[in-house]
Chains A and B, each alone.
Chain A
Amino acid sequence: MAENSNNKRRDFLQLSTVTIGAVGTAAFIWPFLKSMNPAEDTIALGTTEVDVSQIEEGQSITVKWRGKPVFIRKRTKDEIDEAKTVNMSDLKDPEEDVDRVKKDEWLVLVGVCTHLGCVPLGQKLTDSKGEYNGWYCPCHGSHYDTSGRIRKGPAPENLAVPPYSFLNDTTIKIG
């Protein structure tokens, strides 16, 4: 009887020691792992203000925001129509064009392919724009349309739309 309760006590002590040791080790490891996450200055939301008064219809510019390229494109009438008339069932990541823009003629996108992070072509007039007249990623062959939606290729999602707002008619604030 006495031996039995002694054994239980041993088990309890052993279990609690191991548990506290494990929790302590995990607590000790946490700061090390956490230190690898983006630092405060990196997180601090960068904002970029862009003057778009010089952009003609059909032209695009690339600006840098949080280290990433952001595409700003003033779309032509044809491109807007093309983007609006797409059948939702043809899309891999269905999204209406109206949900992706604030003003029809201005398309603002994070210029990073959602496959493996390359910068798609289509910003320069001489670039290949892909089969859907938008952007084409040369790394692994993803085609985006005039709303930046994925149409063909390995990328799983549409080009992301960053948070932005119009400060006035010719200035966009990204971030």
Chain B
Amino acid sequence: MSGNSEPRKYKNPVLNWIEFRLPIISYFEKEYGDYPMPKNCNYFWSFGALATITLVTMIVSGIFLAMNYTPHTEMAFDSVERIMRDVNYGWLLRYIHSNGAAFFFIIVYIHIVRGMYYGSYKYPRELNWILGVFIYLLMMATSFLGYTLPWGQMSYWGATVITNLFSAIPFIGEGLKTWLLGDYTVGNATLNRFFALHYVLPFVIFGIVGLHVAAVHVHGSNNPAGIDIRSKNDTVNFFPYMLIKDTIAVCVFGVLISAVIFFGPNLMAEVDNYIPADPLVTPAHIVPNWYLAPFYAILRAVPDKLGGVALMFGAIAILFVLPWLDTSKVRSCNFRPMYKWFMMLFFVNFFVLGYVGMLPAEGLYLLIARVGLVYYFGFFLILTPFIGWIEKPKTLPLSISDVYLGGGKQSPLTASQKEIH
């Protein structure tokens, strides 16, 4: 028997049999069991796990919703109402899915804030950051497509406004818009393809998340000190330490999202979307979902159609090159006395942009949006490169374990800088 010559790595013969043919057991052991995590990682490092769990929840609840949804302009709205009233637990599935989308963005925004503040996007994790921005971009596309499906007034007019953005492109714009819609206006052809794409994109996201995780595991996770792992003393194994920590985070998250799903399921919804779509009447005030509002504010802040569209897409595109705009070698903002405050102001500014993006674009709101727009781009294009040059960072700890030993054993910056790079 050839089986006798197989290596016996595990006690369980079934695991051995699988491992010899497909070394998936040792892969999971390495990546999720013994994977060394910097021991100073705080709860900000749980948001990647939270985002993965939310993605799976969205896919599962979405598949079950699709079993009862009809992607036709005449029937879509009613089929959603049927899910809410007649389908067993349909209301729960739909509220999980609609609020899950909002929480997915909350989690991912915190995850991005973590990456920016602690400089996780810097060498050698640039590709990891780029994959993350791709995921964020796909998430925005997917949520926009999904928002169209209930075929309410906001669905219809949101889809109209967003697809019209493409008509701003010179020469090919109108043709491109018609091609995207499959009609001259948002119609049945549009609803059908939006449903098809909304179904498939989450699986694409899932695939890129796999690459995103694989990429971070190559050089290991960043940490609040932003310095490299030097020895085994600097880390703890993912299992059980970080798994338990992430599980606590998941429990807290579960409490929060349940509170919204059960006690305020429409807190983040627009009431106008409970009115069936009417192609002849535009709602007085078209509001995007809050998680897309900062970009909508940028679009409206520019008094030119093409210029507004270009800056809106530019605001997302600029994220891709952040690793090369930042000239500082120090990762964590904890050791960057100047940049830290501009970074925090950037987060506040993004929040303010989102707020005015949901209000009418006039008077003071328009002025605030314009100031916010200038800071958004100024932060990336001017502050980030220049502060990197002129700022004098605080001295970095020698190692991650040193963080816990208190001061005294600090190295001059130049030495640690060399080692980081």
**Please, how many residues of chain B have a CB less than 8 angstroms from a CB on the other chain?**
34
A138 CB to closest chain B CB (Å) equals 5
Binds B, one of A11-19, A77-85, A93-101, A112-120: A112-120
A159 CB to closest chain B CB (Å) equals 14
Is B362 interfacial (CB 8 A cutoff)? yes
Bound-state CA distance A140–B281 (Å) is 15
Per-position binary interface string of chain A over residues 21-42, scored 1 when its CB falls under 8 Å from any chain B CB and 0 otherwise:
0000000000001001111001
Are B179 and A37 interface neighbours, CB within 8 A? yes
- Once A36-B193, A38-B184 are accepted as A-B contacts, the answer to whether A154 and B304 lie under 8 Å apart by CB is yes
Bound-state CA distance A165–B181 (Å) is 29
Are B157 and A118 interface neighbours, CB within 8 A? yes
Residues of B within 8 A of A55 (CB): none
Residues of B within 8 A of A156 (CB): 304-306
Binds B, one of A2-10, A63-71, A166-174: A63-71
Residue of A nearest to B300 (CB): A140
Bound-state CA distance A33–B160 (Å) is 21
B161: which of A33, A116, A141, A153 is its contact (CB, 8 Å)? A116
- Once A38-B183, A64-B279 are accepted as A-B contacts, the answer to whether A141 and B308 lie under 8 Å apart by CB is no
Are B160 and A39 interface neighbours, CB within 8 A? no
The SS class assigned to the A binding surface is loop
Are B183 and A42 interface neighbours, CB within 8 A? yes
Place the interface of chain A in its size category: 20 to 34
Is A76 interfacial (CB 8 A cutoff)? no
Is A107 interfacial (CB 8 A cutoff)? no
Is A72 interfacial (CB 8 A cutoff)? no
Are B189 and A138 interface neighbours, CB within 8 A? no
Are A154 and B305 interface neighbours, CB within 8 A? yes
Is A133 interfacial (CB 8 A cutoff)? no
Per-position binary interface string of chain B over residues 46-90, scored 1 when its CB falls under 8 Å from any chain A CB and 0 otherwise:
000000000000000000000000000000000000000000000
Are B184 and A118 interface neighbours, CB within 8 A? no
Are A67 and B183 interface neighbours, CB within 8 A? yes
Which residues of chain B have a CB within 8 Å of any CB of chain A? 157, 160-161, 163-165, 167, 178-185, 187, 189, 193, 279-282, 284-286, 300, 302-306, 308, 361-362
